Amino acid sequence: MDTLQYALRKLVTGIPLVLGVTFISFVLMVYFGPDKTYELIGKNATPEQIAEIRSQLGYDEPFFVRYADYLRQLVTLEFGYSDSTGERVSRILTRTIPVSLALTLPGFVLGNVLAVVLALVAGFYRGGLIDRAIMAGAVVGMSISFLIIIIGFQVLLSSSYGINYFPVRGWEVYSLADYLYYVTVPTLAIVFVSLGYNTRFYRAVIVEEMNRDHVRTARAFGTPPIKLLFRNVLRNAAIPIITRIMFSIPLVVISGSLLIESYFGIPGVGKVTYDAITTGDQPILKAVVGATAVLFVLTLIATDVMYKVIDPRVSLK
Amino acid sequence: MPLLEVDNLQVEFSTERGVARAIDGVSFNVNEGETLGIVGESGCGKSVTSLSVMGLIPRPPGRIVGGEIRFAGQDLTQLSDKAYRKLRGRDMSMIFQEPMTALNPVFTIGNQISDVLRRHKGLSRKQARTRGIEMLAEVGIPAPDKRIDEYPHQLSGGMRQRVMIAMALSCDPKLLIADEPTTALDVTIQAQVLELIKNLAADHGTAVILITHDLGVVAETCDRAAVMYCGRIIEQGPVDALFEQPRHPYTAGLLASVPRIRPDRLPRLPTIPGIVPDLLDLPDGCRFRDRCGQALERCGQFDPDLSAEGDARTEAACFNPNPVTQT
C-alpha cells in the first residue's frame, strides 16, 4: 500500500519533468527544427504564397500555441502523416516498435543475465585464474568494434565461409521458427557487444559488495557460498545493477537498435528514426523524440519504485 | 584437554612488495568456559589470529603456512570448506567491531537470526522465530517480538551489537571470538555490552577470545591475556599477574602509557619510543629490540621464545625481563 502511494506520488512529480523534457525537445526539434516551407513551394514564390504555406503548416502561430499543439499531439498520440510516405505516424510506430522490441529484447536480457552470472563467478574467485580469464574476455569483447562483430557473425553464421544457415538480412516473421531464424544472429551480436561492458561494471559492483562487513559476518556464521552470493552480495548489489539495466532501456529501444536494424535490414523503429533524420521527416521525429523523453521519465519513476521495493532503507518520504 | 590449541601458527600475506608474515609462530590455548584476552596495537596480528581460527583469512592473498589449530582435538587447518562451514556459527562464532555494517541491511534481524538457527539447528521457520525472540530478550532488547521484524538500520549501534551477540550465541557455541566488540560504541554502552558478553558466555558455558587494544577491557573481563607484538605473542599469563608485574618491557610500556587519573599530573603521557618494524623488513633477533631500553647484545642475534622462569606467573619472550618482585 505504501509502495503504491509512493509510486503515485512519484508519477505526480514526474509531470513537471515530462513538461521540461518535452519543452526542450520542442524548442530544439520543432521550433528550430526543419522548415518545410521551401520544400513544398515551387520556384519564384511570392511572399503571399510563402505566408500562406507557413500558415497552413502552423508556423505563424505564437511560440506557446505551437508548444501546446505539440503537447496535444503527444497526449493524443496523433502526430499526423509522414512527409515521405504519407502513412500515419501512429501506425508507423505501432508497426515498427514491436519489431524493434522483439529484435533487441532477447539480446538485452541475455546480455545482462549472462553478465551478472559471469560477474558473480569472477567476483567470487577474484584475483584467481577464473576471474582473470573472464576479465580478459571482457576486455577483448569491449575492444572489438560493433561493426566487426556484426560482420564477423554474419560471415560465420550466414555465409558460405561459415555454416551458412541463418539469413544475412531481413525480417519476415510469421511463426516462432521464423522468429528464431531471423533473430539469432542479431541477438548474438547484441550479447557479444554488451557482455564485456556489463560484466566489467557488474563485477566492480559485486567485488565491492563482497568486501562488505555483512558478507564476512555471513561467512562467520557458516553461510554456504551460493546463498552468500544471492542473499548478501546480489541482493545488496541490486540497486546499481537495476539502475544500469533500467537506464539502458530507452537507449536500447530507440537508438540501440538503429545500427542492428540498418545492418540487418530490419524494419524497426530505429531504421524509421534514422530515415526520418536523414530526410527531415518532422512528424516522425516529433513522435520519436517525444516518446523517448516520456519513456526516460517513466523509467526514472519505475526505477525509484524498484529501489523502494529492494532496499528497506529507502524512505517513503 | 584445552578447547582450542593454537600451535606455532604462521600466516603469510602476499603483498605487492613481497610476502609479509603477519603471524609468526603464535601458540596459545583456550580452556572451556575461559575468557582469554588478546591485546596489542593495530597491525600486530591479533585480528589475523582470530580470523585464522575462524577459517576466514581471505585466500588469496593470505594463507596459513605452518602450525596447527586444534579445536576440540580436530586440526582446523586440514578441514574441508564444507566441514568448516558447519562449525562456524554452531561450535564457534564471532562478533565484529562494526555493529553498524556487520548485519545484512536488506533483511530483518529476525530473518538473519532464523537463517543461522535453521541452518545449524534444523529448526522450522516458526521454531527459529520463537528461539530468535528468546535470544533477543536474553541480550536485553526491549519488546523483542516487535524488534525481530525490524531492519538493522532501525536499531542503534549498541542494539545492533546486542543482535550480533544474540546471533553468535543462538546455537550455544563452545567458543566465541569477539574482535574489538566495543571499540565502535559509546563509553556508556561499552560497559553494558562487555558485561553482557561476560554474563551470557558464562550462562552458555562458552569460552571467549576477546581481541582488543584496550587494556582496561582486558582487566575487567578476562581470566588470562596474551600480549601480541609484530606477529608474535611476547607475554601471556593470568590477567592480575600481567597487570601487576609485567615482565616484558613492551607490556610494561603499554601499561605505563594508558591514560588514567593519577595522583600527580604527569608532564606528558609516557610512550614507547620508536615505531613498529615493517613486517616486510624485520630486524634480526628480537622484534622489539630497537625500541627496548634494556636490550642485551644477544637480543640482536636471537629471537627469544616464551618462557616462564622462577617465580614468574607469566611467560615472557625476553632475554632480560623485568625482575619478579615479591609483594
- Partner B contacted by A129 (CB < 8 A): no
- Quote the cell numbers at residue B70: 586444534
E strand map for chain A: none
- Partner A contacted by B60 (CB < 8 A): yes
The pLDDT assigned to B327 comes to: 56
Q: What is the mean pLDDT of chain A?
A: 85
User: pTM of the prediction?
Assistant: 0.80
Digit-coded pLDDT (tens) for A116-155: 999 999 998 888 899 999 999 999 988 988 888 888 888 8
Asked if residue B185 lies in contact with residue B99, where contact means CB atoms within 8 angstroms, the answer is yes
Asked if residue B10 lies in contact with residue B64, where contact means CB atoms within 8 angstroms, the answer is yes
The pLDDT assigned to B292 comes to: 81
Return the exposure string of B204-243: e unless at least 16 CB atoms fall within 10 Å of the residue's CB, then b: bebbbbbbbbbbebbbebbbbbbbbbbbbbbbbbebebbb
Q: Chunk chain B into consecutive blocks of 10 residues (it has 327) and report each block's average pLDDT, rounded to whole numbers.
A: 89 87 89 90 87 87 88 88 90 89 91 93 91 91 92 90 91 91 84 88 90 87 90 89 86 82 80 81 81 80 79 80 71
The pLDDT assigned to B326 comes to: 58
B chain contacts of residue A127, beta-carbon cutoff 8 Å: 60-61
Q: How many CB atoms sit inside 10 A of residue B154's CB?
A: 14
**Grid cell 558466555 in the structure block, residue:** B201
Chain A residue closest in CA terms to B86: A222
Q: Is the peptide bond before B60 cis (omega within 30 degrees of 0)?
A: yes
Q: Report the half-sphere exposure of B271 (CA within 13 A, side-chain side).
A: 7
Interface touch B104/A220, C-beta < 8 Å: no
Q: A169 pLDDT exceeds 90?
A: no
Which of A127, A221, A313 has its CB closest to that of B116? Answer: A221
B102-to-A134, A154, A217, B92, B167 alpha-carbon distances in Å: 30, 51, 6, 17, 12
ipTM given for this complex: 0.86
Q: How far is A298 from chain B (nearest CA, A)?
A: 26
Binned at pLDDT 50, 70 and 90, residue A1 comes out as low
Count of residues for chain B? 327
Asked if residue B157 lies in contact with residue B184, where contact means CB atoms within 8 angstroms, the answer is yes
d(CA B129, CA B115): 10
CB pairs under 8 A between A and B: 71
- What is the sign of the dihedral through the CA atoms of A146, A150, A153 and A156? negative
Mutate to test the interface with A, among B104, B120, B211 (most CBs of A within 10 A): B104
Asked if residue B98 lies in contact with residue B112, where contact means CB atoms within 8 angstroms, the answer is no
d(CA B307, CA B317): 6
d(CA A100, CA A104): 6
d(CA A115, CA A201): 9
d(CA A153, CA B106): 42
Measured N-to-C along each axis, helices A257-264 and A269-279 cross at an angle, to the nearest 10 degrees, of 90
d(CA B321, CA B327): 17
The pLDDT assigned to A215 comes to: 92
Q: How far is B33 from chain A (nearest CA, A)?
A: 20
Interface touch B101/A222, C-beta < 8 Å: no
- Quote the cell numbers at residue A90: 501512429
Q: How far is B215 from chain A (nearest CA, A)?
A: 25
The pLDDT assigned to A233 comes to: 92
Strand partners, B5: B29, B70
Mutate to test the interface with B, among A210, A211, A214 (most CBs of B within 10 A): A214
